[in-house]
Structure 1
Amino acid sequence: MNNAINFIAENPIDIMLSVIFAYPIIKGFLFKFSSKNLKNDIEDAGSYVSFIIGSILGAYMTKSIFIENNKGIYKTIYDCIPKNIIYLIEGKPIIIYVVCMPIVIFIIYKIIDIIIACVNRITFYPLLDGLERLLREKSNFIKRIIGAICQTPKSICFILLATFFLNVFSMLGINQDYSRKLEKSDVYAFVSREFISPITNSNIAKELPKIINNSFKIVVKNDSQDSTENNGIGSKTIVYYNGITLNEGLRSNNEINDFARNLVKDKNSPKAKAKTIYDWIGKNIDYDYKKADSILDNNFAMKSGAINTFYTRKGICFDYACLYAAMGKANGLKVRVITGEGFNGSNWISHAWNQVYVEDEKRWINVDATFYKGGNYFDSSIFNLDHRQAKIAG
């Protein structure tokens, strides 16, 4: 009994999604096949399908218009939006998710719902009447099996819809406990990864490294050497990032410094230099999936930091941030490493990125070379949509 309670407490999301999927199938088995009931279920399922399609297309279109807005009709629509609305959205980018996206989703949902209802009345309803006549002489068990089978599409709609809302709530960052429960859910991870995230996050999720997860580990230790004699006085705190200190991660050499200076030699402004370094790292450094798995297993044997990343041309978020900082500092830029959380399409996870000080504008700008392939993450006005809890590491 205690084991069952512990299992439920540790896997509430998996259990909830499993129950949501199984409920229509069990109901179909218990109440048997009925043309009238199934027509009502089809109407409901049609609404669910319409909402799912509307949610997917609405999310895609909203992000294409308000986040990417760099191609085709989406750029045209974005350019037609009044400037005061654009300024409002840029100042509070969460408006994209709580206002713009629901409106677009609702409009698409209603259009699709009407189309599906018309198609059902012409095609499926006559077929169901014929199937009911065919099953009149069949046993109750056969009718129950057919009833369960006919409810399977509804079960699929239910679990997709539930996962979509869990994904949205995760994006809004309800609390840490909720995020941890989502991370432990195998069912949510599978449905979100295979069906929700690849579409709702459009090109952004498709281009991001496939295993951007909690492969960034921060360990804080007290250097207590001689602390017994001094009663702890004089001991210092050392922070390790993926097994090394920040100073070790930022360590550079003459070859990297010379390369970085030569890379931006034609650029005059600090911001142009910062952008050139961002572009080069984003294009030339690949995400190290093997290292990500090792870090997740608390195996820090693989080297980290700017030097290793430059020569191997691969790394994870901390390595990207270290190399960017090293190349920026080689050019006299004020660069700092930021730790916090990034949204990977399903969950908020530990992450690292950079900030660069732009002297002309008297401000720090956000830069995330790890997310380069997913869109514009250089001084983006909507950077905080998928980055939060920023802390200056150094």
Structure 2
Amino acid sequence: MNDWVQLFKQPEPVAIIVMLLLLVSLMQGLRRGASGSARRLFFFVWEGVAVVLCLLLASQLASRLSPAFADLLVRRVSVPLRELNGAEQAWFTLLTSLRDFAPLRYGVLFLLGYLLLRALAALAEPLLERLVEGMLTGGRREGREDAPGRRSASRFAGALIGAVHGAGRSFVFVALLFVYVTLMPGGWYADKIAESPLYSEAASWLEPVAGDVLEGQGPVLAKTVQAQFKQILQRKYEIIDYAVPAEIEEAALYVTKDARTKEEKARSLYDWLGSRIAYDWDKANNYVERGVWKEQTPAETFETRTGVCIDVARLYAVMARSAGLEVRVVTGMGADGRGGYGPHAWNEVQIGEGAENWIPLDATWASSGDWFNPPEFDKTHIREA
């Protein structure tokens, strides 16, 4: 007990906020009296229980609905084979991302489920409030007609209940700080929070319960969200380039006319682009040295026969789709030949059934060697997602 008293004697922000929470709750309890304070404490606990229950139910609901929702999107979502405006590009990027990216789909369903369940819980609160009111007062409200002694006793009891309420509020506050410091140790003011004696004492209680989970799963979750977000941004190239210009489609069909398998088609397109698209060093240098980026479409790359890695990858993807192949643009880091890495883009093509039958290729690097599914491709290419 003396340790806790000593903690509050030290003027530091966490202790000051906790003291204010306790003081405000105590004063509120003194003003409301026993029944009013008990009512507020009950709904404080109810709010916490409702949040936990809604989170658990929303998680189960999202897990069960996610596969069915994915199947529905697979059957119903079809990107139009025409040039899309900005709103249509955003809409189909969202739909196809929900269809293909399980973490995003789960997150959206989880959020919607939680909001729905919280709304249902809110509808039940008025009925619950009347029930609690009747249980606490027995149908009689505290009023001015009560005897002074009874009012004093009620206010004293209310102050005690308010103090308990304040302790609960303080615990939630410190628990939120614990989550913040654990997940973001380098975040704003995290070092000052960690130095607080009061926080350190409370964290010693929370660490065995939640510390390992947060430290183990938190960074993994953050990286997963970051990777998923990059995948969604990458998806824009697929949506923007979904409509294939006639001349590119004709060229793709001509290049692959003698190919018999998907792998042969992919190889023919790789050889064609690798030998006909020159690297645009002026565009690359403008971006590296001046920060000037020129966006260009696959049609422009096809017409000018020049482009940087992302331009070549986008043109390859458009031509591969024209030839009936499943293909994707991959962004990440590529080896620069000097022991380092720089931003890069390449492709992956599906040559058979199943996830293991996607192969990588890099038509931009074709002039420097054979980069069509070489054995050590991953040693020179690091994908972002």
Higher helix share: 2
What TM bracket, shorter-length normalisation? 0.3 to 0.5
Normalising by structure 1, we get a TM-score of 0.36
Higher strand share: 1
Normalising by structure 2, we get a TM-score of 0.36
Q: Which has the larger radius of gyration?
A: 2
